[in-house]
A and B are shown apart, each in its own frame.
Chain A
């Protein structure tokens, strides 16, 4: 049995090593800037307008990246225990609270970077009932501001939203919702300008939006190649870093160039008939956040069963949710990208509509879905999506596990669970 830290994933692409090395160097540079030189920086959730921080040259630490960094140092259990000692129930939502836990543990000797210095502001969209409390308390503990952003209701429901979200975003995402996010973004910019002395150059933002479109187009082309190719050229274990690391730096010269290189390497593997597995028989879909503590899980059945995870949300999401026709309205286009970035992944009909379509596009044989027991937002929409996939002929396995908390994860047992499911549904 292999419990706890999990198994490392196997890497075959040159791009993957480059992305990982870039991020490692970036982390060291970021630490130098914010810890050693005291440069202003922001802590923000992934679903906030990072484009504004990039355009204002304000370093941003994505909460999800910082959580993954803490997890990778095997500190998550220690910090979650510290939360319980501080009086929080043990079942409090873990996905977004690891950074707060690290701050509350107040242990510079073991904390990554000795702990984070005080940021200019913390920013989060209020997509659930806990995030405002997590970020509010984190800001209070760090002695700084919290800038919450609304996640307004969405009454215009389009099952096939992904077919016109790039160009007709005003209708798809509702003009009132876009307008609210615009006003909030303007308030955020005013706060940043006041606290850092830096200003937003709208021309720079427009250029950044164009560069992001170029980057996301490369990623979408890679996703299309992967969906069409037999065998699948790149497992999701390598799709994830080659998507998410450029996504943290979206629009930068490195990120655009890396996305292009990744697409080219994918196409090259397709041209040479190279597969993630030498034995591809089944194409699997992974629904949910990545299991960051056991990336090797995704490749465990490739050779023995020929079961290859060919799809996770991160790469194909670049197409419908990031690419935007700017139309001379960069702030509005940006607002339309951000104002539903979480909702389309966790609410019906957007979630089930897109994922069912993606399963068809990628020739999926079965899906495995993550149901984190203590996280309503991450669970949300899963059963209705499973129902839709089953109706479309795609068997679904739901597993109760958490993406950052390894306590209840057993690599061998989880791999066996998937193998048994595939056998039970007559697929392997």
Chain B
């Protein structure tokens, strides 16, 4: 096989992609670009990054890739997969082959078995065997938060880049919290072949992963746990207008933050590109916390 492989969406095991020897990372996209082609095909409630990717696809920016792997663990990602397949069928798009990783998250044995089956299917398709999977290189180190300063966790919708992190740092805090592309690479754990079939191990990692919108977790407890691990002094909960999953966690997360006594700023229904003054609000909030 030739050509590189990129991925779209959360909870795709990075180890499996790395084992292909052709993984180019998450698909590249420009969040600020106009999306005139994508707007003709895609509706308003999709995550904005889905439109940026569709626009990039229409502009033939992904022709170096042979495959793009989409995650079923995110609704915009999985629908984008169907849209691209259809547009290719109709001759309106060309480019790499879209592939979907069918991740099942329900906490039952049937979903775990289905996810294991899906991982094996994807591995077969990409030419990855058990030995390749075990031998795949170590996970790349995640970004390190500046622990010299008090830390503020940016949670909620993963932002397109570090523009909100920059606002946190402007206010004198170390900024923690994954950007969108970073969040798509979080499922990257070691595999111990002594523990049994590596694909079964991988499936268990995917099945219980808390990193996507379809995770079965206590969102309030999960947020507090992140804050405690980081020793964060404050939190910003930022959700965009198009988000459909995070919104349902809001009461539980607010209550958890209040119980834990963590200073927090909650911003809902916000602009993906932060053109609505979110950065200024974050700076003002953190200045108040520090005062």
Among B25-33, B162-170, B241-249, the stretch in contact with A: B241-249
- List the B side residues contacting A349 at CB < 8 Å: 85-86, 89
Q: Once bound together, how far apart are the Cα atoms of A246 and B76, in whole Å? A: 34
Chain B residues, Cβ within 8 Å of A129:
74-75, 213-214, 244-245
Per-residue A-contact encoding for B174-193, CB less than 8 Å = 1, 0 else: 00000000000000000000
Q: In the assembly, what is the distance between CA of A128 and CA of B78, in Å?
A: 10
Given A373-B44, A374-B45, A383-B41, are A152 and B249 also a contact pair (CB < 8 Å)? no
Known contacts being A376-B46, A383-B42, is A88 close to B247, with CB within 8 Å?
yes
Write the nearest CB–CB distance from B72 to chain A, whole angstroms. 5
Known: A150-B111, A180-B110. A347 touches B82 (CB 8 A): yes
Return the contact of B269 from the options A89, A136, A373 (Cβ within 8 A). A89
Q: Are B89 and A132 in contact (CB under 8 A)?
A: no
Q: Which of A153, A371, A383 contacts B78 (CB 8 A)?
A: A153
Q: Number of contact residues on A: which range applies? A: 35 or more
Q: Is the interface of A mostly helix, strand, loop or mixed?
A: loop
* Interface size grouping (class) on chain B: 35 or more
Once A88-B251, A91-B269, A129-B213 are accepted as A-B contacts, the answer to whether A376 and B45 lie under 8 Å apart by CB is yes
Is B79 in the interface zone, CB < 8 Å from A? yes
> Is A155 an interface residue when CB atoms closer than 8 A count as contact?
yes
Q: A86-B251, A184-B108, A352-B86 are in contact. Are A376 and B245 (CB under 8 A)?
A: no
Q: A89-B239, A93-B244, A157-B85 are in contact. Are A384 and B41 (CB under 8 A)?
A: yes
Complex interface: chain A residues within 8 A of B100 (CB): 153, 155
Residues of B with C-beta under 8 A to A159: 89
* Interface assignment of A126: CB less than 8 Å from any CB of chain B: yes
Across the interface, which residues of B come within 8 angstroms of A348, CB to CB?
A: 82-83, 85-86
Complex: A373 Cα to B46 Cα, angstroms: 11
Task: Say yes or no for A375: interface residue by CB 8 A criterion.
Answer: yes
Whether B133 sits at the interface, judged by CB under 8 Å, is no
Does A312 make an interface contact (CB < 8 A)? no
CA of A130 to CA of B114 in the docked complex: distance in angstroms?
21
Residue A134, interface by CB 8 Å: yes
A149 within 8 A of B: yes
| CA gap between A187 and B112 in the complex, in Å | 14
Q: Does B104 contact A (CB under 8 A)?
A: yes
Q: Does B65 reach chain A (CB closer than 8 Å)? A: no
Chain A nearest CB: distance from B269 CB in Å?
Answer: 6
Q: Does A204 contact B (CB under 8 A)?
A: no
Q: Is the CB of A87 within 8 A of B104?
A: no
- B117 in the interface, Cβ–Cβ < 8 Å? yes
Residues of B within 8 A of A379 (CB): 43-45
- Which of A91, A93, A187, A375 is in CB contact (< 8 Å) with B241? A91
Chain A residues in the interface with B (C-beta under 8 A): 86-93, 126, 128-130, 132-134, 136-137, 148-150, 152-153, 155, 157, 159, 176, 180, 183-184, 187, 347-349, 352, 371, 373-377, 379-384, 387
